[in-house]
Chains A and B, each alone.
Chain A
Amino acid sequence: MQTILSVERLRKAFGAAEVVKDVTFDVRPGEIFGLLGPNGAGKTTTIRVILDLFKADGGSVSVLGGPMTRAKLARIGYLPEERGLYRDMKLEACLVYLAQLKGVPADVARKRARVWFERFDLAAHKDKKINDLSKGMQQKAQLVATLLHQPDLLIIDEPFSGLDPVNTRLAQEVIQEERQRGAALVMSTHQMRQVEELCDRIVLIHAGRSVLFGPVDQIRREHADNAIRITATGEMPALPGVVEVERKGDTRTLHLPQALSAQDALRAYAAAPGVSVEAFERALPTMDDIFVKVTGAAGTGARAAD
């Protein structure tokens, strides 16, 4: 299958500290790809190697069909985690300048910026210094800066940082629109709900290694215990070995013993007198659960260089 970005067995060390030990994943055109991992796992270093800011010590990176070139950099949009704009410059001037450096003529950049400003509710602030904008506004401005040159590949680090729910929703919409436009997005985030809602596939990096890679749904199924979620009224019969893990109103999450399949459980409950099953599904773990399970306690790993 065609890939827009492919990272294979990547290694990168700073002196004695091996920050990236073995990272492999690929990103396909038109997909939203999650780059996940605890703090210090090596995500930022991986991004920087992809962007050719650092040279890899081993492995290979292929971007837009080959090694990184200056021309390709102009087709990439990068949003670093927080900040990344000149704080003493006026909003519009700064964004137009950054777009110019990417090869967009000033008038085109200005026209595009104004459309985005309207959408992100920044129009009234375009002549303010970035320093005078709120944190949320700065984050929106940062996102606009990433989009002005209409890149083919977007690498966005914590795009929802500092955004309220309304603006988070807006940013989500924009990210999905970018995918529809044909761009591929690599999104690094700690917000697992966003990963479930947006990402097609993910890679999970832990202590410098890619430990999980694949479609989100598949990963969730693979990590599912033998558990079900059932919404039912009436007196539920007790089945041997079944443990109730959680209950919210009429919805129960039940852990099943090895010998009992989900299908058997459904039949047993549906056949029980006086019980009316309204909803039934396999209980898939959240990405949050999987993240914690795979990486151990969150926040472990070396802090260096991330």
Chain B
Amino acid sequence: MLTILRIARIEFQRRASRRAFLLTLLVPVLIVGGIGLILTVTLSSLADAGRGNFAVVDPGGTLSAAVQPGGDAHFQRLADVDAARRALKDGTVKAVFVVTAGPGGTLNAEVQYLDEQPSEDVTDAFQRFASTARLGDLPVTSRLRVVEGATLHYATLEGGRDVDDAGLAAGFIAPIVLGVLFLVSLLGSAQYMLQSVVDEKETRVVEVLVTSVTSDQLMAGKIIGLSAIGLTQLLVWIGGFLIALRVAASRLPALQGVRIAPEFLITGLVLFTLELLLFASLLGAIGAIVSNAKAGSTLSTPIVMLAVLPEFFLPALMIDPQGAISVALSLFPFSAPLALLIRYASGSVPVWQVLLSIGLLIIAVIAALWLAARIFRYGLLRVGQNLRLRDVFQAVRA
């Protein structure tokens, strides 16, 4: 075990000490941070458009005088259109809503402004005020209830998480971003593994190594070391994402609904760690049977595509998270983590499916390790030649 950890440590150090690794670690954080900053600035300047004072002029007395306008935007009643125009010109108000009665009891409002059209928040607030004020005869609380309508809650029969209206849109962001980060980190680490094994064959370091340690120890050490690299990357990126989210949420109320439940994060990390081990094992085995990295990527591409599979079924996963395709993708070990993430984003995933998925993934990892150990033992020392598939099968059966 000590030997395996020693190998894992060196594999980790060799990767982590490279400048390229530091770059891959920081660049996504910087990009996400940059995009976040731009979005925050743009969105918060949009939100600014909703702040300030607005005026309502009701020359015909169409709206009940007993009701005062409310909401985030500050409304004030002004006596006549001239007073409103003056207030508009000297900047005391940003826009004026002039209310007149329309035909058949309808209501018209002309919105006058200088240069900045009032945002949706402002017009929404005005609409709520107008609706409330027209129910003039009812008690205040009743008027408010009528306008409010019903608050919708979403829940599934199988159980799983409940979301409300606000959380649904916001809840999308975290799983999708985490899914992309994971995919990038997974593919990166898998590539490291392939490269690492091929390099060792090419530089014949492997011959020296296997006269000191067993091929099983070598493989296990590599898988642990390079999976740790993937996990480190992922954790740094997630950390960066969470910080960015917090900073953005402090400026953007819409993002305050984005919450990442600890159990979601932990389940995600367990799934991804298993997936990392699965891919590291398989790509290590591929590294052992090819003579150069190019031949390796030809062989590894189909396997890597399996992890990306859920992206192709994105519509099915989002529209029908409980459908057959969605469940199949969640249980298929290669695509399980990403599929589960996307389904989580679209609503809920039954607990039994998550547990079954983890179970299947563990079985897949054990099978991959077994397979990789055999192929590794056999292919590691074949330098300068790609192994034929028949030979590989023989090695596995032997």
Contacts and interface: CB of A to CB of B under 8 A. Distances in A.
Interface residues of B, number: 19
Nearest to B391: A15
Contact of A84 (B14, B207, B214): B207
Interface stretch (A96-104, A186-194, A229-237, A292-300): A96-104
A183 interface: no
A15 B203 CA distance: 25
Query: In which size bucket is the chain A interface?
Result: 20 to 34
Interface string A130-147: 000000000000000100
A98 B212 contact: yes
Most buried by B among A81, A101, A102: A101
B397 interface: no
A259 interface: no
Contacts of B153: none
Contacts of B161: none
Contact of A73 (B10, B18, B207, B211): B211
A88 interface: yes
B381 interface: yes
A48 B391 CA distance: 19
A83 interface: yes
Interface in B116-165: none
A53 B212 contact: no
B391 A84 contact: no
A54 B381 CA distance: 9
Given A78-B207, A83-B205, A102 B18 contact: no
B14 A88 contact: yes
A89 interface: yes
Interface string B237-265: 00000000000000000000000000000
B11 to A, nearest CB: 10
Q: Interface SS of chain A: helix, strand, loop or mixed? A: loop
A248 interface: no
B114 to A, nearest CB: 64
Contacts of B211: 51, 53, 73, 76, 78
A190 B363 CA distance: 51
Given A48-B381, A88-B18, A73 B212 contact: yes
Contacts of A87: 203
Contacts of B214: 70
A162 interface: no
A48 B204 CA distance: 12
Interface in A29-55: 48, 51, 53-54
Nearest to A149: B212
A105 B213 CA distance: 15
B208 A78 contact: yes
Contact of B203 (A70, A85, A145): A85
B212 A84 contact: no
Nearest to B221: A101
A84 B205 contact: yes
Interface string B386-398: 0000010000000
A88 B205 CA distance: 12
Contacts of A98: 208-209, 212
Interface string B198-219: 0000011101111111100000
Given A53-B381, A83-B205, 7 more contacts: A73-B211, A76-B211, A86-B203, A86-B205, A89-B14, A97-B6, A97-B10
Interface of B: 3, 6-7, 10, 14, 18, 203-205, 207-214, 381, 391
17 contacts: A15-B391, A73-B211, A78-B207, A78-B208, A78-B211, A81-B204, A83-B204, A84-B203, A84-B207, A84-B208, A85-B208, A97-B10, A98-B208, A100-B6, A101-B6, A101-B7, A101-B209
Instruction: Pick the 5 closest A-B CB pairs, nearest first.
Output: A101-B212, A80-B207, A78-B211, A83-B203, A80-B204
